[in-house]
Amino acid sequence: MVTINDVAKKCGVAKSTVSNALTGKKYVSPELTERIRAACKELDFQPNFYASTLSRGETNIVALVLEEDSRVKFRGFYADLIVSCLRTAAARGRHLLVYSGLDKNSVFTMLKRDKAPIDGAIVMTPLVDDARISQLEKERIPCVIIGRPAKEVSISYVDINNVKLVGDVAERLYARGFKRFCLINSERSKTISIDRARGFSHVLNRKGDAETHIVYSAESSEAEGRRCAAPFLEPGTAFIVSDGTVARGVYESAKEAGEEVLSGIHIYSLGEDVSADVPWEYARQDYVKLGTLATETLLNEIDGDHEPKQICTEYYTV
């Protein structure tokens, strides 16, 4: 097997000179660098990627951690998010490593320095009491959170303005004549649930004739949609729900209740997890832009911009 020593011998230089020419760690003249690269090609020498990057304390790899909970299924919007993060990282000479469905212990291991081959991480869906965020601060790993942390932290985050998003939806449905509302929210432990409830209440509590209800689902599933909707299934009710899977449960439950109920309610999903046409309205959140922004923010931090960023976007349409 050809080694770096063989390349050095062919070029008549030290092994360290070959290493510096291939990694850019120290200056080597362009003429000599070209001669070394030509020798590598002629001898079919493949530099060890990890050895060369780890010697500089870098891997050129960033992680995208989709969810902490191993029970979470792959969501429809993940495709747009992953591709946008992948392309943005590649444009800056980085690789993307995607973590999905990890249990808590695995996530903690991954978010420790020297335990995984990453220079930084993008972490989704912060919790109210999120041990991942505390660990990231402790380990001082460059990180960007997609979502709003519950408390002030020295970590950058990017988020869709969920307070305004839900408020916009509630305002639109009220203008259509609905007076009875039910928000089927995501888990109480997520900060996104707090923001959704805030936007919902901020708009509808100012309407003197609006009846409002907020319920929290234990998970994103059709079964939870059915359970949460059951006490409120009557004509004239507008359901604002956390995502398309829950919306499906509400719809199926209303269909079983009969045509009068099904035709008399309205369902509006805050996120869509399916590509086919569905019999309810939904908000379109631009995860391409969100992923690009999160990745650019992380790479800028890795490259030296250590000032934490708090970015709240309106990358959605209702």
203 shares its domain with 305: no
87 shares its domain with 45: no
79 shares its domain with 35: no
224 shares its domain with 239: yes
**pLDDT value of residue 115:** 63
User: Taking the CA of residue 233 as centre, how many other CA atoms within 13 Å lie in the half-sphere pointing to its CB?
Assistant: 22
Residue-number span of the structural domain to which 19 is assigned:
4-54
Q: What integer is the mean pLDDT of 112-137?
A: 81
209 shares its domain with 278: yes
187 shares its domain with 77: no
Helix/strand/coil for 81:
helix
Give the CATH number for residue 24: 1.10.260.40
Q: Which two tokens stand for residue 112?
A: 């420790």
Give the CATH number for residue 172: 3.40.50.2300
Backbone angles phi, psi at 25, to 5 degrees: -65, -40
**pLDDT value of residue 78:** 86
Inter-residue contact 118 to 83 (CB < 8 Å)? no
156 shares its domain with 292: yes
Q: How many CB atoms lie within 10 A of CB 153?
A: 18
Q: What are the tens digits of pLDDT across the range 256-295?
A: 999 999 999 999 999 876 555 789 999 999 999 999 999 9
171 shares its domain with 269: yes
255 shares its domain with 192: yes
Q: Cα separation of 318 and 308, whole Å? A: 30
**pLDDT value of residue 151:** 85
211 shares its domain with 312: no
Q: Cα separation of 36 and 183, whole Å? A: 65
User: Taking the CA of residue 142 as centre, how many other CA atoms within 13 Å lie in the half-sphere pointing to its CB?
Assistant: 22
AA identity, residue 7 = V
For 190-226, give one letter per residue: b (16+ CB within 10 A) or e: bbbbbbbbebbbebbeeeeebebeebbbeebbbebbb
273 shares its domain with 303: no
Q: What integer is the mean pLDDT of 166-182?
A: 97
Inter-residue contact 67 to 100 (CB < 8 Å)? yes
Q: What are the tens digits of pLDDT across the range 46-63?
A: 766 555 554 555 788 999
**Number of compact structural domains in the chain:** 3
Residue 154, pLDDT > 90, answer no
170 shares its domain with 149: no
Q: Which two tokens stand for residue 295?
A: 């990745």
Q: Which of 294, 318, 312 is nearest to 80 (CA)?
A: 294
Which of 70-74, 141-145, 157-161 ranks highest by mean pLDDT? Answer: 157-161
Q: How many CB atoms lie within 10 A of CB 46?
A: 9
